[in-house]
Structure 1
């Protein structure tokens, strides 16, 4: 394929090239320049950057003593906690590849990912909900070692005692001690780890994703990819960071959005990470009061949840420079209501697992355009191409597939050459998203290519329907999908959850949407629900609804 010159595409952010680095360079710099700064606060217990670096050194030595070698895959199946950070950097220090696992995966999903990645060692909490599934599949999946992370050892003394004595029913039930390596033993190792040869172009993380083609596969993110995205964030907020930042880490770090924003970027800037193991509103509010954040990263459903709080419970976000939303499109009405209720600015960005993840973001200081995810991230080029003829670069304002170029774009999919060739073309990443660029280079997303509803020859974009629904103040959540239609092939169906059940009738909703949607976009079916399905990080999820409708068709 012949690619038009980059000058014909959206302009990249001006500035010098981003030098390739190792992820461990981020921690080395923070520990060297700010050893006394608090690195981690976990439910009230703290570690400085100097202490964190020491733990990483000991853990790295321990991993080498137990046979972890350069290129081996080391899995993290942990909630946000200090040992996630320690083992992440320790595994990278010895040249291993980190594989991120969702702790809420089913046993079948865990087995598939362990097999596919060839993970040798996998770290889990000593919590039955996670550990017992891993031990169940370990032998048949080829997992050699389970690194058992004792939760009590990470908690403040009194909370640790409570977990040990009063949460016994939640403790892991170990059947084969020989397969286990306890974190206490790992950290008992002394001496420096043996030096290993690591290059910035080496794969650092396998980030599993459905990608643009559905089947879960590991995006190979190199040290250079991930450190570049962190450096791009530094340039994006240039001059706006206080003496020391504090981030509330409630998004799970096994997800690439939080891996970059909560972990890598925080370590690069020697930020204090206030980690929470899950999103639980009372705990989030108490933590914000105890440790007011200066940075807050969230997905749209978190902003919706805060919007729903009673006035007396709205958190004080006066110290926050900006809240950044990612992971899914942020409806304008959700952003405006959040800003009105909290006084905090919300900035929307856009990215994919395959791009480490950020490729566009609205400026912290500057013009924020409604329903846009902003201009290209520093050092990134965005292109809009014709999905039917990818050699054709589309003019400004015309809708097409979003392509991205930049140092954060992945090396490829793990052991998936065909899928890699399908999404990496002439050095650019095909995102599978439909969007357009305006006259100022701001990106507006329309929808996923695979989610487009084909209605009698017309393309209907679910996001257009969802955005129209969100304009109604009674609607809390909205998801549109395509369902079979004997006449048009497909027609839209809209699923809705209300702030207050019964506050909106079907006739009222239809009348409201009729003023905002064309006849072809108007849903032919509606369904009210108490809540809509979500992913682990809180993104609204279509796949469960699509599966339910497919079953109805087979009935």
Structure 2
């Protein structure tokens, strides 16, 4: 059965006067409200006019550095004003943004940089992050590293305190041709050259496991990302239309925050309150100081807040809505948050390949418990028969979720065969299994992919498995996701050791420390004499999951 809020998909999401390219979002808001606050980073604010001016200078500097149309620049940055400026500057210069998690290991960074062919890389002036990124960049052929000083982005007093307290971790920028201090970019003069760009051109490479667990770049175009922001605006019709203040604690290197916190806020002229990461005390103080109207969260964050907030916690009374995504939201966690705050907590559903939102519950009315809501505006969702993908299934029956809409990616970067596998007949195969109820609410009941949704992050079992296989005492290994009360899911590894090996679970975790990130570290490692296999001898996960 096919469900959609519109009877026919719309091929072009834009109406006359709507933005064509992502930099148009900023240009239009800067013209409408030049003195309005665009960014607040730890108390240091920047107006829309100031942000737009900086983007123009930095875009010119990037062109002077040789960034040509279609060239890739990797942003390995936490949520700071640098990320926002460089994001729009790369796009204004005609380039493509590659967003990368600063917590990645050197190996993971190397894969993203080499696969994307990034020419430039931006990193914070953190010694540990720089050490990993610079080593990976050298091997991947990156030409220049832009170093962004955190203290300079803070209010003056906080900047002084940061330089003192974090002095041992702050990088002294090497004086060589490979590195460039960020301040040099803002010294550029003249406006950037206008590059011929089309809304269908790739704007962002968002790395995801896709259907195989091997990270690959989803090609998100200007049109697809703008479409999702416009779809959000249509979905929000029941809320006040006045400019809002949005707290941005989710990382913008993840597409959930990139669309909801950054693109949508700039489209609507909202103020973005940036936090570099989630730390409970800092988050609560920022909520009390800024009193935001909108919060985007993952279940891990919601669960943590439930332990510490109540009906009178400062900063929550002005919230108009809160949206949870990135992982399944336990019903009790949702109910507890709503009791504490008195606002509706809306759960949605999306994936990197769809920019990312494809369905959501109402932002003003209580949704169906356990449902991810109805299809987004101008989005068609079909449930295909698991045994015959040419057929759809009726309401109440489970099927594979197929999505069609203007927010769907163009394909995977340099992977035509895998692109053809997931993009069929104008639809995106999600690899998820769901069912519709009689009123068109979508319920996700299973995942075809082995992807583990861990605290809002994608964790790929193969990455962990490949790392464990490097240990000399590991003969076979399978990694699955298991329920976790805090993160939603957590990785668990099943290992068959070499006979006579004395390796312990702690030994294997110590071995993994330099090979995978903390979020990927298995919560449990269980040793077994034999691991289940299929009839043709492949390791099987379904017996371990209890399927």
* Shorter-normalised TM range: 0.7 to 0.9
Indicate the SS of the match to 2:292.
coil
Range 86-95 or range 387-396, more displaced: 387-396
**Structure 2 residue matching 1:136: 3-state secondary structure:** helix
Deviations 1:501-535 (A, max 9, x none): xxxxxxxxxxxxxxxxxxxxxxxxxxxxxxxxxxx
CA contact 1:132–1:174 (8 Å) conserved in 2: no
The verdict on how the C-alpha distance between 1:494 and 1:126 changes in structure 2, with shifts beyond 3 A counting, is closer
- Counterpart in the other structure of 1:10: 3
Name the CA distance, whole Å, in 2 between partners of 1:494 and 1:72: 40
**Contact 1:30 1:269 (8 Å CA) reproduced:** yes
Question: What is residue 36 of structure 2 aligned with on the other side?
Answer: 37
CA contact 1:317–1:344 (8 Å) conserved in 2? no
Matched residue, 1:444: 443
Report the 3-state secondary structure (helix = DSSP H, G, I; strand = E; otherwise coil) of the residue aligned with 2:373.
Answer: coil
Quote the offset at 1:13 in angstroms.
3.4
SS at match of 2:119: strand
The aligned residue for residue 93 of structure 2 is 94
Match of 2:493 in 1: none
Residue 300 of structure 2 is matched in structure 1 by 301
Q: Return the offset for 1:451.
A: 4.9
Q: CA deviation at 1:164?
A: 2.6
- 1:336-375 aligned within 5 A: 336-366=335-365, 368-375=367-374
Q: Once the two structures are superposed, what CA deviation does each residue of 1:195-214 show, in whole Å capped at 9, x if it has no partner? A: 11010000000000011221
CA distance in 2, matches of 1:350, 1:328: 8
**Distance of aligned partners of 1:407 and 1:135 in 2 relative to their CA distance in 1, 3 Å threshold:** same
What is the rounded CA distance, in whole Å, between the counterparts of 2:328 and 2:394 in structure 1?
24
Cα offsets for 1:153-178 (capped at 9, x unmatched): 21100111222344221112545621
What is the CA-CA distance between 1:21 and the residue it aligns to? 2.2
Deviations 1:87-128 (A, max 9, x none): 000000011000000000001111111000000101111111
Partner of 2:381: 382
Unaligned runs of 5+ in 1: 1-7, 453-461, 467-478, 482-489, 500-539
Q: Distance in 2 between matches of 1:443 and 1:302?
A: 24
Please list the CA deviations of residues 309-365 of structure 1 after superposition, one character each: whole Å capped at 9, or x if unmatched: 165984441211110000011111100011011212100000000000000001123
Q: State how far apart, in whole Å, the 2-side matches of 1:13 and 1:213 are.
A: 32
Identify the residue that residue 319 of structure 1 maps to in structure 2. 318
The residue that corresponds to 2:123 in the other structure is 124
Partner residue in 2 for 1:544: 522
1:59 aligns with 58
| Mapped contact 1:14–1:378 kept (Cα < 8 A) | no
In the TM superposition, residue 367 of structure 1 has moved relative to its aligned partner by 5.2
Q: Does 1:426 align with 2:425?
A: yes
After superposition, the Cα gap between the structure-2 partners of 1:161 and 1:551, relative to the gap in structure 1 and judged at 3 Å, is: farther
Give the aligned partner of residue 246 of structure 2.
247
Aligned ranges 1:11-410 → 2 under 5 Å: 11-13=4-6, 18-19=13-14, 21-175=20-174, 177-309=176-308, 311=310, 314-366=313-365, 368-410=367-409
- Deviation readout 1:419-454 (Å, 9 max, x if unpaired): 1111111110000111011111110001211359xx
Whole-angstrom CA distance in 2 between matches of 1:213 and 1:339: 37
* Aligned-partner SS, 1:170: coil
**Number of matched residues?**
474
Any idea what SS the aligned residue of 1:363 has? coil
Q: Secondary structure at the match of 2:3?
A: coil
Q: CA distance change for structure 1 residues 166 and 543 in 2, over 3 Å: closer, same or farther? A: closer
CA gap of 1:312–1:65, structure 2 versus 1, over 3 A, is same
Range moving further from structure 2, 305-314 or 278-287: 305-314
Residue 493 and residue 435 in structure 1: after superposition, are their counterparts in 2 closer, same or farther (change >3 A)?
Answer: closer
d(CA) in 2 for partners of 1:281, 1:543: 22
- TM-score normalised to the size of structure 1? 0.81
Shift of 1:551: 7.3
SS in 2 for 1:147: strand
Q: 1:13 to 1:241 in 2, by over 3 A?
A: farther
User: How far apart are residue 150 of structure 1 and its match?
Assistant: 1.4
- Residue 14 of structure 1 deviates from its aligned partner by 6.2
> How far did residue 67 of structure 1 move?
0.8
| Equivalent position SS for 1:232 | helix
Pairwise CA distance, 1:308: 1.1
Shift of 1:279: 0.2
Partner SS state of residue 124, structure 1: strand
Q: Helix, strand or coil: the match of 2:46?
A: strand
In structure 1, distance between residues paired with 2:70 and 2:101: 22
Between the aligned partners of 2:346 and 2:485, the Cα distance in structure 1 is 25
**Cα-Cα RMSD:** 2.7
Instruction: Mark the CA change 1:134 to 1:378 in structure 2 (over 3 Å): closer, same or farther.
Output: same
Q: 2-side partners of 1:232 and 1:153: how far apart? A: 36
